[in-house]
Amino acid sequence: MDLVEVEGWTLDQRRAVSPQLRAILRSRIIRNDLRPMSRLSEPEIAKEYGVSRQPVREAFITLMNEGLVEVRPQRGTYVCKIDYNAVLNARFVREAVEADIARKLASEGHDHLIRDLRAQLTLQRDVSKDSPERFMELDERFHMTLAQGAGVAKSWGFLEGIKSQMDRVRFITFEEFPIAKLIDQHERIVDFIEQKAVSGAEDAMRAHLREILNSLPRVQDLYPDYFENSHGLSGEKKSQHQEERP
């Protein structure tokens, strides 16, 4: 059999296994299915997905390089805690890139893109209360569509590699994020792009991506054991964090 399905995750044996395992385990970590400090067993995962231990080992190495797992010699592999500083740094980089994307789109005008984005907004409002995972997928699609529309799709691939810690925060407690407000912010970004209001589009994107700064401290207070480096900020970074909060 070429397809193996385990708890909703499908592994295609006809394609390279290691990248698929990496994607599956990464998603499970981000969605908090595999919680911080959970031990990951190489032989157990290999058995679960019906593969040899080599692709599992390769997936672990890739996830380690992404800061999602920690390999402890003679002790095992564990899901990393969420790095508080990494969340702040990823948000900072993401704001810089996506604010420029919004500015570029508003300066050019994209009628077909606007229609697509408004259709996506409708989908977001339809699922936001019932399926947090589906909303997160649509949120990803929205931001990826903006990058593609601006002709910088590769920049989204770069952002995906650094924003995993941000996404983990969002999945830990979905209720802490004002979903209706996030959708309104999406709509505001689209409105400014359609109006070709360059500064407005940029400012709307920056405000949107700073929303996590309001939620992050409370999430960390609710789940202190899930985080590391939350009290290790320098005075300069603490000041920056406070200034960035709306």
Q: What span, in angstroms and rounded, lies between the C-alpha atoms of 182 and 211?
A: 8
Task: Render 102-167 in DSSP notation, one character per residue.
Answer: HHHHHHH--HHHHHHHHHHHHHHHHHTTT-HHHHHHHHHHHHHHHHHHTT-HHHHHHHHHH-HHHH
Mean pLDDT calculated for residue range 16-35: 91
Q: Tell me: the pLDDT tens digits for 104-127?
A: 999 997 899 999 999 999 999 988
Q: What span, in angstroms and rounded, lies between the C-alpha atoms of 166 and 172?
A: 10
- pLDDT in the model for residue 93: 95
- Tell me how far CA of residue 208 lies from CA of 70, 205, 239, 242, in angstroms: 32, 5, 20, 16
Mean pLDDT calculated for residue range 33-41: 94
Domains of the chain: which residue ranges? 3-80, 83-236
> What global pTM score does this model have?
0.82
Q: Specify the CATH class of 83-236 in words.
A: mainly alpha
Mean pLDDT calculated for residue range 4-9: 50
* Beta strand 39-40 pairing with 76-79: antiparallel
Does 146 score more than 50 pLDDT?
yes
* Same fold: 3-80 with 83-236: no
pLDDT top residue among 174 and 44:
44
**Per-residue confidence band for 95, with pLDDT thresholds at 50, 70 and 90:** very high
Q: State whether CATH 1.10.1660.10 applies to domain 3-80.
A: no
Q: What span, in angstroms and rounded, lies between the C-alpha atoms of 42 and 52?
A: 9
Q: Tell me: the pLDDT tens digits for 45-80?
A: 999 888 899 999 999 999 999 899 998 888 899 999
